[in-house]
Structure 1
């Protein structure tokens, strides 16, 4: 059987081309996609898919890209989808990204040329220790790189190109889905699963080489609004109840030595304020609430509510509204019902010559939402590291292994059907 090879550095060229396109999403925008510039990448992907020979490639009005790789077998094989997101994080600029290839990495700290204070240090990036001799791609120091998730997009595109050009490789029907707005929690909100018509899926959006993730956080968003009492400050004695100060007291009263992102790891959850705004009369804080079980999420919500009520006892004329919205749920609850999906993912990684590592994500992927929409979907490594930051990096060789893993998954489903 033919095996994937990175001929003429096609993978690097493809990734760098995608990384240069600004696709940053915007949580404040109500549209889908939240930024029209995401469609610039989507339209390029459709053009390339059509050039590869995938005739049904299309982008819809919401910025979702759909395509089908036809079956090459007479067997009745479940339809598998590979999915990655096109947007990059709002946490760090994605404009004018200048990717740099550091060939034959030898363990040195990587000083980024456009902002020399940004240094990717071997001592701070454990996975760099496994990259000796590999080729590392970074940005130049003023932006993120966008490997989250353009590494995954690149890998799916490389695998699609390989499978179309090698029809002797036996596989069932394969669907491709590229989504907008994953970074702002809306990645599959308007995905047309009827059009997609897949049985199972894999997101290609993980970190370390060999990782396969079948468990994510469960996630809620919370908006806490404090309605205070505003009066003229010159005549405010015993009348004013400053919503800004009340909100500050509530934030200060929340735990500091636990239940925060900076004090938790592993299976520990948190209550995390991510933005505040307000005036004397009304102030608002946005939170993300995370844990691995729904029961723990409820505990965290109740703690936020009790803390708020405790502080407001001092302010008899002020009120609050706590609005909780479900964001996504731990996909393990769904995936445990379909063990083959993860098992075949593990086998595909090992067939690529890599030790598979089953892990939990302290975060979420499109797969979390897809699993609960009826498309069970674990997450496969893409090789991206230090995402959402100017220190983001990816290894070319890890990306090559991800491409091989995608191809292997397709073959293993066919072999076992």
Structure 2
């Protein structure tokens, strides 16, 4: 069943997908990191005014903020987040969305000259999209489903609420954010832009029905090792080879706690990069786990390993910098079940079967939750995020818009009749 205006969804997604809004970590000291993000957010701040929102662009945080004023009393404000940035891609190739109407599960040539095909034999989820309007890249770069599908679904929901004043709601706040892909946007969000908001939702990756209120705890580590260079012909008892020490460190890391052997609720320690010479070496690591105690144990494992090597080679040869990146949103949600139960009730109201799962990564919601606004993740539709095979359908974005309106409406109903405060179930 069509909920919103499919032409509106298609045109808005294609329009914004074509805008270059890459976030670039090399520009991390700029807010935001690229001017294309500013352009799109200011455009969005203007567009939502057409749907009855008050809006502005926060120059300090680089968030575009909107508020749809309440049309009924006694309903606490809630919020939604969608990020405008995409991962980096080859600047030689602009994003060129391709529309495939009434898709029937066939193999699609995205860039036939270079042998790039979107094939259900490789991506079987495509077979679930028969009859829908499929939008893909041209095979040369990303499409931008992450998160321009979330942006588009949110716009459609706001337009629907504007055109259907019979749907009761409190203040609805929206935030279009920058630099999510490099982990900076959510850190800069100012809760003062969401006054009185008890909880919010991100609209990040996932198929219709997906819902996540548990993410990784995350740290990044950098280990620098200092060697002693001596001519190899005279090195006996004098040379200390930083490459050899680095190899010893890498060999001591647990072999079964790596991403390629982890799934579901497993955590891992991943070597992201390494470089070395006799004189010096450097290793980059990321540490991930859902369970807080196991996460701390992984951090301690790295510290202890460096300490043991320090006893062997001299502590002054090692410089370990371990930096917390984000915490599991479940830590801030577990004692506030309403934000989860409301979403689950709304999924049912919208005719969606909730697929509750762990999010093997992080979202802006990690940082926003730590700022006092519990923020689990819904979905934005599509699949194959961050690559040339990325796709979405108009109908999936329509399902997102319907869910957002259902959340707003159900929150109004439960504000009058009583909140669903059941204790949270464990889905993992």
Does the TM-score normalized on the shorter chain lie above 0.5?
Answer: yes
Corresponding residue SS for 1:367: helix
**Cα distance in structure 2, aligned partners of 1:35 and 1:65:** 15
Greater alpha carbon shift after TM alignment, 305-314 vs 106-115: 305-314
Report the alpha carbon displacement of residue 62 of structure 1 after superposing the two structures with TM: 3.2
- Residue segments in structure 1 that go unaligned for 5+ positions in a row: none
Match of 1:275, SS state, is: strand
Assess, with a 3 A threshold, how the Cα gap between structure 1 residues 8 and 203 changes in structure 2: closer, same or farther. closer
Deviation at 1:278, TM superposition (A): 5.3
1:416 to 410, 414, 417: 414
Deviation digits for residues 14-43 of structure 1, max 9, x if unmatched?
A: 111111112221223222212233212112
For 1:223 and 1:320, how far apart are their aligned partners in 2? 10
- Deviations for 1:174-198, whole angstroms, at most 9, x for unmatched residues? 0001111111112211111012211
Report the CA distance between 1:115 and its aligned residue.
6.0
Cα displacement (A) at 1:303: 2.7
| CA positional deviation for 1:4 | 7.2
Change (3 A) 1:57 1:78: same
Match of 1:221 in 2: 220
- Say if 1:56 and 1:68, in contact at 8 Å, map to a contact too: yes
**What is the aligned-residue RMSD (CA, Å)?**
2.4
Deviations 1:347-403 (A, max 9, x none): 222222221111110111111221121001111111131112221111221111001
What count of residue pairs does the alignment treat as equivalent?
A: 413
Note the C-alpha offset of 1:98.
Answer: 0.9
Q: Which residue of 2 aligns with 1:357?
A: 355
Distance 2:145 2:262 in 1: 25
Check 1:307–1:118 CA distance in 2 against 1; reply closer, same or farther (3 A cut): farther
CA–CA distance in 2 between the matches of 1:171 and 1:273?
48
The residue that corresponds to 1:48 in the other structure is: 47
Contact 2:89-2:141 within 8 A present in 1 as well: no
1:262 aligned to which of 252, 260, 263: 260
Matched residue, 1:305: 303
Match of 1:132 in 2: 130
Tell me, in whole angstroms, the C-alpha distance in 1 between the residues paired with 2:404 and 2:69: 15
Q: What is the rounded CA distance, in whole Å, between the counterparts of 1:230 and 1:102 in structure 2?
A: 61
Structural mapping, 1:115-194, within 5 Å: 116-194=114-192
**Runs of at least 5 residues in structure 2 that lack an aligned partner in the other structure:** 416-428
Q: Deviations over 1:312-334 (max 9, x none)?
A: 66645861122111111111122
Equivalent residues of 2:93, 2:140 under 8 A apart: no
- Does the 8 A contact of 1:229 with 1:240 survive in 2? yes
**How do residues 64-75 of structure 1 correspond to structure 2 at under 5 angstroms?**
64-73=63-72, 75=73
Looking at structure 1, the residues matched to 311 and 90 of structure 2 have their Cα atoms a distance apart, in angstroms, of 39
Quote the offset at 1:289 in angstroms: 0.8
**Matched-pair contact (CA < 8 Å) for 1:229–1:318:** no
Equivalent-residue separation in structure 2 for 1:183 and 1:53 (angstroms): 30
Question: Does the 8 Å CA contact 2:2/2:395 hold for their aligned counterparts?
Answer: no
Alpha carbons of structure 1 residues 262 and 416: separation in structure 2 relative to 1, 3 Å: same
- Give, in whole Å, the separation in 2 of the partners of 1:21 and 1:283: 40
Answer whether contact 2:61 2:190 (CA < 8 A) is retained: no
TM-score by length of 1: 0.91
Question: Would the aligned equivalents of 2:22 and 2:89 in 1 still touch at CA under 8 Å?
Answer: no
Give the structure 2 partner of residue 203 of structure 1.
202
Retained in 1: the 8 A contact 2:9–2:156? yes
